[in-house]
Copies of this chain bind each other. A is one copy, B any other.
Amino acid sequence: MEKIICFGEVLLRLGPEGYYRFIQADKFVVNYTGAEANVAVALAQFGMKTEVVTKLPNNDIAKAAVATLKKFGAGTENIVYGGDRVGVYFVEKGASQRPSKVVYDRKYSSISFAKQNDFNWDKIFEDASAFIFTGITAALGENLPAILLDACKMARAKGVKVFCDLNYRKNLWTPERAQSVMQELVHYVDVLIGNEEDADKVLGVKAANTDVAKGELDKTSYIDVARKLTERYGCQMIATTLRTSISASDNNWAGMLYTNGKAYFSKEYKIHIVDRVGGGDSFASGLMYGLLNGFESQEALEFAVAASCLKHSIELDFNLVSVSEIEALVKGDGSGRVQR
């Protein structure tokens, strides 16, 4: 089986149990996570071979992070060690009208100081069939754009399929900086994932007439954006999740896949949320599973949307579901009847 390379930061996630706020907590739930690590774990649960590529310090917290990745089946052989710290992010789960809140403490992490020669992409991509990174990785530190460019070029040279989830984070960089970095990288991307805000902020492609905060979805504008992205950057496929936030407790969830000039829209799910962090990553991993296993476009999209629908029912960031569980939902059993 060929490997899928997932490159990005692995962070320590900390947050209160249940619906307590930070100020109330005298315990934090611990997880080791990150957008690309989430993809790696989800794909490993689907039976794929994955490798998390990152840089971590030489300390016991990093060791615990690596053990967690191993537990859930992700490969950790290509992790580079050095630097001072594991990035941290704090999450407080929202409910009803109160949004979830994320406090980042990822500045100065080991990967943010990574250097180009930390990663031997030639070796990393041996026996690899796919590569994924997100816009977050590109935003982490000064050298990351160059490191990613090295990786993308090597991937293309080796015939490795490149996936990118734009994942714009306003607290990591400005749209200007994002565009200056990402516009070059996206030329190497085969499958591009991102919502309208991402397309606008990261790639300067704007959709007309959609107000995300209102939760209204306008199919034509999505198609318009996707078409522009394929034309401008040459990506084969554009995928996006379509989230309607009714409240922090209830969301509607669907997706679109655009390829060869055609847009596919998935079934929409009404989700009662357990933990929505990692929802986008679970869509990306579901899509990768479908596309790497030769699913048709509609089929791959439905798999991705069902996979990420299930993610919202699971605590913490990882999408710990099996292919058969996803397929049961795709086939229409969302009734949640007990499986004995």
* Residues of A that sit less than 8 Å from B by CB: 14, 17-31, 59-61, 63-64, 67-68, 70-73, 84-86, 88, 90, 92, 94-105, 107-108, 169-171, 213-215, 245-250, 269-277, 306, 309-310, 312-316, 320-321, 325, 329, 332-340
Do A245 and B23 contact each other (CB < 8 Å), given the known contacts A28-B14, A67-B71, A90-B61? no
Q: Report chain B residues within 8 Å CB of A316.
A: 24
Do A338 and B90 contact each other (CB < 8 Å), given the known contacts A249-B272, A272-B249, A320-B24? no
CA of A30 to CA of B25, assembled, Å: 7
B97 touches A85 (CB 8 A): no
The chain B residue sitting closest to A336, CB to CB, is B248
Q: What is the CB-to-nearest-CB distance from A49 to chain B, in angstroms, rounded to a whole number?
A: 13
Interchain CB contact (< 8 A) of A72 among B61, B67, B332: B67
Do A215 and B27 contact each other (CB < 8 Å), given the known contacts A20-B315, A61-B103? no
Q: Report chain B residues within 8 Å CB of A63.
A: 22-23
CA of A249 to CA of B92, assembled, Å: 21
CA of A313 to CA of B73, assembled, Å: 29
Q: Report chain B residues within 8 Å CB of A71.
A: 67-68, 70-71
Interchain CB contact (< 8 A) of A276 among B274, B333, B338, B339: B338
Q: Report chain B residues within 8 Å CB of A273.
A: 96
A314 touches B98 (CB 8 A): yes
B169 touches A98 (CB 8 A): no
Q: What is the CB-to-nearest-CB distance from A23 to chain B, in angstroms, rounded to a whole number?
A: 5
B68 touches A70 (CB 8 A): no
Do A340 and B104 contact each other (CB < 8 Å), given the known contacts A21-B314, A28-B28, A63-B22? yes
